[in-house]
Amino acid sequence: MALKHRLKDILLLTREQWDKEALRPEVRTEFQKVIACRTPALGAEVYASSSGEERVVFHTCKSRACPSCGQRANLNWLRQRSADLPDIPYSHVTLTMPDVFWPLLKGNRDLLKELPAIGAEVIKRWFRVKYRAQVLIAVMPHTFGKDLKFNCHLHILVSQGGLKEDRTAWQRNLPFYKEPIMRMWRYAVVYFLRAAYRRKLLSTPLGPAAFKRLPNEQYGKYWHIDCKSLGNKWQILSYGGRYARRPPIAEHKLVKVDEREVTFLIKDTERRQSSNYSLTINEFIERLGHHVPDRYSNNVRYFGLLAPRTKAKLYDFIFSLLRQKRRPKPRPLSWAISREKCFGVNPLIDSKGQPMHWAGRIKAVPA
């Protein structure tokens, strides 16, 4: 099947599966938006050029589940965050957990929301105890792996320097040690799950004895974490935050779609190349639905010196210690410019290269 908008057509093919009350309301709402994106259901603007050419441009859905809208939103987010952060070295920290904990958090999304705060608190405490310093922290939670299975982990941007506790100087080049961070992260997650179970905030089919064994067994194992000193803040933001405003799979990775199966590209880490991976169309939609964020949830959260209250009090002082000037917040890219940057086509230039101007509006036509 040759599809122009692959994800939209997949959603149309599987509408009976996801458009039902048993599913999370956020999933149904976001999928409906993707289907309505760039259709008469949302209305349109009419543009015309001096050569007499007219173009109808349908409104977009602005959904985080939409590949095209999410790409544009992600580009604006990256520009704003890059301008906001000081020009200093940064580390990219990845905190993972054993896969036996993933189903617990998938079935208890209220607890899933607390993971960024837990990971940030681990980083904050370690730097406070080790160096008596506060650091800049931005947490980007991910809930997916390369095959779209539910795999919750945290990508964290951490400054390699920090503000002394007495606020007299900026400490530079603070080394990061993975082993103590891993132990603190392991303890924090296990303690959190145990406390939630005791308070009956965690729903699980496991009985008391089986649940007690689960964290005990995992507590004795090594949990993988990673820390890379990348230095370039744009590189860290674009990697960890690339799914902050868009779905976990880009449309260009959907290589084949039919009524039964979806084939998409994944990164084969062993062979260090891309390879095809196939799912039934129903499995694909089920996995994709798990990664639609809850309403009002933030896909990037800020802690430490980037926490909103702390930032309001100390950010100007930090820049003065670093002998840098704060950059003004960049204006969001216009719709036409962002479309050109993302997709290489300016929608306000006609086929003869003439600029187009607004000529009217078409009201939305509900489906």
Q: What digits encode the pLDDT tens for the residues 259-284?
A: 889 999 888 777 777 888 899 999 99
Q: What digits encode the pLDDT tens for the residues 15-39?
A: 998 998 888 999 999 999 999 998 9
Give the bridge partners for 54, in sequence order: 48
Q: How far apart are CA 192 and CA 186, in angstroms?
A: 10
Residue 215 predicted with pLDDT over 70: yes
Residue that is written with structure tokens 């991910």 in the block:
142
- Residue 133 and residue 304 in contact, taking contact as beta carbons nearer than 8 Å: no
Nearest Cα neighbor of 143 from 5, 291, 362 is 291
At residue 2, the pLDDT reads 43
pLDDT band with cut points at 50, 70 and 90 for residue 76: confident
Q: How far apart are CA 68 and CA 250, in angstroms?
A: 9
Section 204-221 average pLDDT:
89
- Residue 283 and residue 290 in contact, taking contact as beta carbons nearer than 8 Å: no
Residue 4 predicted with pLDDT over 70: no
Q: How far apart are CA 340 and CA 345, in angstroms?
A: 5
Give the bridge partners for 138, in sequence order: 157, 302
Nearest Cα neighbor of 226 from 270, 178, 267, 190 is 178
Report how far apart, in Å, the C-alpha atoms of 268 and of each of 253, 265, 281, 316 are.
Answer: 14, 9, 22, 44
At residue 256, the pLDDT reads 87
Burial 125-142 (b: 16+ CB within 10 A, else e): ebbeeebebbbbbbbbbb
Residue 82 predicted with pLDDT over 50: yes
At residue 273, the pLDDT reads 79
Section 191-220 average pLDDT:
91
Q: How far apart are CA 228 and CA 150, in angstroms?
A: 24
pLDDT band with cut points at 50, 70 and 90 for residue 1: very low
Instruction: Work out the number of other CB atoms within 10 angstroms of the CB of residue 167.
Output: 12
Q: What digits encode the pLDDT tens for the residues 313-346?
A: 999 999 999 999 999 988 887 878 877 877 778 8
List the chain domain ranges: 1-63+249-290+333-367, 70-248+297-321
Cα of first residue to Cα of last residue in the chain, in angstroms, is: 24
At residue 285, the pLDDT reads 93
- Residue 186 and residue 344 in contact, taking contact as beta carbons nearer than 8 Å: no
Section 41-55 average pLDDT:
91
Q: How far apart are CA 158 and CA 277, in angstroms?
A: 34
Write down the mean pLDDT value for the chain: 89
Q: How far apart are CA 173 and CA 319, in angstroms?
A: 17
Section 110-131 average pLDDT:
95
Section 169-190 average pLDDT:
93
Residue 151 predicted with pLDDT over 80: yes
Residue percentage of the chain with pLDDT more than 90 = 55
